[in-house]
Amino acid sequence: MNKLTIRDIDVKDKRVLVRVDFNVPMNEGTGEITDDSRIRASLPTIQYLIKNQAKVILCSHMGRPKGAPEDKYRLAPVAKRLAELLDKPVATTRDCVGPEAEQAAKSLKSGDVLLLENLRFHVEEEKNGPEFARGLANLAEIYVDDAFGTAHRAHASIVGVAQYLPAVAGFLLEKELVNLGGILTNPVHPFAALLGGAKVSDKVALMENVIGKVDYMFIGGGMAATFLKSEGYEVGQSLIEADRIETAGDLLRKARENNVNLILPVDVVITDEASDKGSYQVVNVKDIPNDKKIVDIGPETVEIFTGELKKCKTVFWNGPMGIYEIKQFAKGTVAMAQLLITLQASTVIGGGSTADMVYDMGLADKMTFVSTGGGASMSFLSGEKLPGVEALNDKK
C-alpha cells in the first residue's frame, strides 16, 4: 500500500480526527445496538492513538437522516458501547461542527476520546460542502481515515477534510486494502470467486475485473437466473434482468476465452411463494416450470461447488446462494459458509450482507478475512479508485 498510515506520523499530544464507520444496526424499540462488529473493527486504531497519547476525535454517520437531527440516529448509544469496549470514558457532543464541538476538541487531554454527533445531520456532509469540511478540519491537526465501508463516497468527512489536514490511513483501512488488494495482485492459485445475490448488474464490473485472474467462478443466487436465461433455459417467474441477458452471455464467453471454469447451478430450489409458508421442490435447471421461481441452489449444485472449491487455495465470496432470510431457502448459502471454513485456503468474504451472514452464523472468526465494506469492497475489487483512499497522503 502506497499511502501513509498512523505509524508514519507523530500523533503525541495532537488532536486527531478519525473517520470511523459506526453505522451499526439498532433495535428501534429499545435503542440498543444489535451488532457492534463495526465498532470493534476500529478498536486497534483507537487504542493505538490512545496509547500514543493522541487526543482522539471520532466522527461517523449513522443511518439516513435527511440533513437534520433525528433522535433515532444520534450516536449516544455508540459512545456508551465504545466506552465499555475501551474501558474508559467517551465524551460526546450534540453537533459535529460549530462552537460546542470546537470547545470539546480543545478541552481534550492526551489519551482522551471524543465522539462527535452524526455527520449526516448536515446535508453538506454528503455533498462534500467545503465549509462543512473546513469546520471538521478546524477541530484537529491530523486526519485519519479508518472507515473503509465509506471509502467509495466522496463526502466531506472522507475527501473534503483531507484537503486541509495531513491525511493518513488507520489500521482497518490498511488491513482492507492489503487483504482485498492481495487477492487481486497476488492470489494463491487455484483462485475462485463465489458470487451470488439478486442482480447481475451489481457484479458485472467485479466479474469483468477478475475474470482474467480467477481459475473458477461459481454463480448462485437470484443472478443465476439471468445467466441460465442467457444459456436458453426456462427460468419461470424468477427475477431476471432482461437488459443484462446479453451481458451474462458475454461474461460466459469471456470466461471460456480466459480458460475460467465458470460453473452455473445444475439444480435449483423453486417455489411459487417466496415466504416461509410457501411449498418448494428441487428440480433440474432443465425442468423449471414457467409458474415457479428460483429461490436457492439445489443439493447437486452444492455437491459440485463443494468438489471444485476443495481444489482451491484462494476463495472470494460475495452474495447469498438463495434467499438467506427464509430458512428453507438458505441451505445453499449455509452449506457454502460451512464449507469455506474447512478449506485449506485463504477465504475472503466481501462486505455488506455476505459479512452479515457469516457473523450471523458465528463463522466470521473462522474465515481468513471478512471485509467491513459492502459497496466499497465491490468498487475496489471492480478496479475502481476509491475517493477516500485517493485523498490520503502518499508514501514518499
Task: Let me know whether 199 and 341 are in one domain.
Answer: yes
CATH assignment at residue 157? 3.40.50.1260
Query: Helix 76-86 and helix 43-51: axis angle, to 10°?
Result: 60
Task: Let me know whether 144 and 243 are in one domain.
Answer: no
Q: Within a domain: residue 388?
A: no
Query: What pLDDT sits at residue 5?
Result: 97
Q: Within a domain: residue 218?
A: yes
Task: Let me know whether 109 and 192 are in one domain.
Answer: no
Cell representation of residue 2: 502506497
Query: What pLDDT sits at residue 1?
Result: 77
Angstrom distance (rounded) from CA 145 to CA 126: 16
Instruction: Identify the CA nearest to 152 among candidates 352, 303, 396, 335.
Output: 352
Query: What pLDDT sits at residue 198?
Result: 87
Of the residues 125, 155, 172, which one is the last residue of a structural domain?
Answer: 172
From residue 172, alpha-carbon distances to 6, 39, 45, 372 in Å are 11, 11, 7, 9
Task: Let me know whether 22 and 117 are in one domain.
Answer: yes
CB of 267 within 8 A of CB of 305?
no
Task: Domain count for the chain, please give it.
Answer: 2
Q: Calculate ∠ Cα 198-203-206, nearest 5°.
A: 160
What does residue 248 show for φ and ψ, rounded to 5 degrees?
Answer: -60, -40
Angstrom distance (rounded) from CA 218 to CA 224: 9
**Which strands, in side-by-side order, build the sheet including 15-19?**
91-92, 113-115, 55-59, 15-19, 142-145, 167-169
Task: Let me know whether 26 and 140 are in one domain.
Answer: yes
Task: Let me know whether 245 and 301 are in one domain.
Answer: yes
Of the residues 172, 207, 238, which one is the last residue of a structural domain?
Answer: 172
**Which strands, in side-by-side order, build the sheet including 261-263?**
261-263, 216-219, 191-195, 314-318, 346-349, 369-370
Of the residues 132, 154, 172, which one is the last residue of a structural domain?
Answer: 172
Q: Within a domain: residue 322?
A: yes
3-state DSSP call for residue 178?
helix
Domain extent for 44: 6-172
Query: What pLDDT sits at residue 273?
Result: 86
Task: Give the mean pLDDT per block of 10 residues along the chain (396 residues).
Answer: 94 98 88 90 97 98 93 95 98 97 98 98 97 98 96 97 98 95 93 93 91 95 94 93 93 95 97 87 95 96 98 96 94 97 95 88 94 88 94 93
Task: Let me know whether 160 and 186 are in one domain.
Answer: no
Task: Let me know whether 254 and 286 are in one domain.
Answer: yes
Residues tagged active-site:
38, 199, 352, 375
Q: Within a domain: residue 223?
A: yes
Largest pairwise CA distance in the chain: 70
Query: What pLDDT sits at residue 277?
Result: 83
Query: Helix 331-340 and helix 299-309: axis angle, to 10°?
Result: 20
Q: Within a domain: residue 392?
A: no
pTM of the model: 0.90
Task: Let me know whether 193 and 258 are in one domain.
Answer: yes
Instruction: Identify the CA nearest to 382 among candidates 178, 201, 223, 253.
Output: 201
CB of 230 within 8 A of CB of 255?
no
Radius of gyration of the chain (CA): 23
Q: Within a domain: residue 84?
A: yes
Task: Let me know whether 150 and 196 are in one domain.
Answer: no
Task: Let me know whether 125 and 241 are in one domain.
Answer: no
Query: What pLDDT sits at residue 315?
Result: 97
Task: Let me know whether 313 and 209 are in one domain.
Answer: yes
